[in-house]
């Protein structure tokens, strides 16, 4: 960066605003390989993972799909968890898992669309290994997902 010269010989140093520190590189900076094999395992309750949260717009879209009002849909398919609404479990899996496949795939909520790039799953390599790679056959396979794509998915997962 240059300094201003007003010709008077009394130029003051230019004020340079402080900049944000660069973010430290996350452990997944080289990217993560992932390709869903549609095995349905992540739609099955495992350990502490048994909730499928959907926001109001997502529940409304599903209600329309079933020809129900949102209240009717929520009464039939949802239950309150931690101040939100989760899809009910049936046979130890999401109520919409039928014959090992998602029966509402086109309308699945952001939580499902963004798996396995949820903030808590990518928080560390340990959490990735423990809560994703240990059971998801798509982890470590397929195309390489870059760090910005992973971060964007993690942000969408929180909406």
Indicate whether 63 belongs to the interface with ligand SF4 (CB under 6 A). no
Cα separation, 155 vs 83, whole angstroms: 20
Nearer to ligand SF4, 11 or 134 (CB): 134
Q: What angle do CA 68, 71, 72 make, to 5 degrees?
A: 45
- Nearest by Cα to 121 from 23, 48, 54: 48
C-alpha of 92 from chain center: 22
Indicate whether 157 belongs to the interface with ligand SF4 (CB under 6 A). no
Cα separation, 151 vs 142, whole angstroms: 18
Please, which of residues 117-146 interact with ligand SF4 by CB under 6 A?
Answer: 136-138
Cα separation, 108 vs 52, whole angstroms: 10
Q: Output the smallest distance, CB 125 to ligand SF4, in A.
A: 18
Among the listed residues 63, 110, 112, 121, the single contact to ligand SF4 using CB under 6 A: 112
CB within 8 A of 26, min separation 6: which ones? 122, 147
Q: Output the smallest distance, CB 58 to ligand SF4, in A.
A: 9
Q: Output the smallest distance, CB 124 to ligand SF4, in A.
A: 19
Binding mask 8-27 vs ligand SF4 (x if CB under 6 A, - otherwise)?
--------------------
Judged by the rule CB under 6 A, the positions of this chain that interact with ligand SF4 are 36-43, 52, 87, 94, 96-97, 102, 104, 108, 112, 115, 136-138
């Amino acid at each position: 960066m240059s300094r201003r010269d007003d010709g008077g010989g009394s130029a003051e140093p230019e004020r340079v605003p402080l900049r944000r520190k660069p973010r430290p590189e996350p452990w997944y900076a080289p990217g993560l390989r992932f390709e869903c094999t549609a095995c349905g395992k992540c739609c099955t309750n495992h350990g502490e993972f048994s909730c499928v949260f959907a926001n109001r717009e997502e529940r409304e879209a599903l209600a329309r799909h079933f020809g129900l009002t949102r209240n009717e849909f929520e009464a039939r398919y949802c239950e309150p968890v931690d101040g939100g609404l989760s899809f009910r479990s049936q046979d130890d899996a999401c109520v919409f898992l039928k014959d090992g496949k998602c029966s509402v795939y086109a309308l699945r909520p952001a939580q499902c669309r963004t798996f396995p790039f949820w903030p808590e799953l990518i928080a560390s390599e340990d959490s990735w290994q423990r809560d994703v790679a240990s059971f998801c056959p798509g982890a470590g396979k397929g195309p390489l997902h870059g760090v910005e794509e992973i971060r964007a998915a993690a942000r969408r997962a929180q909406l």
